[in-house]
């Protein structure tokens, strides 16, 4: 992460820190607030309980532009069941630091 101070404004650039699989650019320790299109219940869909599995869920959804994957098992999943969050769009200005999460954006061809 690089921060540049300009007067009273601080601009932050988040460099990708995790290599995504199958055409994804990923950032470890990041979440993304808006643009949720679907929360995957990983208790009912255990295949989605891995980064690759979550990316595969995104690949099957034509409206998916990225994911937030929550690592660490059921104790860290949202509401104890959601570990894979599909997003319609990933915008850098909406990045939020979140320990245990991996944010991935689908790369355009």
pLDDT one-digit tens code per residue, 24-57: 999 998 888 889 999 999 989 999 999 999 999 9
Domain boundaries of the chain, sorted by first residue: 27-106
The CATH number given to 27-106 is: 3.50.4.10
Residue closest to 58 by CA, chosen among 90, 95, 32, 84: 84
**Stated pTM of the model:** 0.77
């Amino acid at each position: 992460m690089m921060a540049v101070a300009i007067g009273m404004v601080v601009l932050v650039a988040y460099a990708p820190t995790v290599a995504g699989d199958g055409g994804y650019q990923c950032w470890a320790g990041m979440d993304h607030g808006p643009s949720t299109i679907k929360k995957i219940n990983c208790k009912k869909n255990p295949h989605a309980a891995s980064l690759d599995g979550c990316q595969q869920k995104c690949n099957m959804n034509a409206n998916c532009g990225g994911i937030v994957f929550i690592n660490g098992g059921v104790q860290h999943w949202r509401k104890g069941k959601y570990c894979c969050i599909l997003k319609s769009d990933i915008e850098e200005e909406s990045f939020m630091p979140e320990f245990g999460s991996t944010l991935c954006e689908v790369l355009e061809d």
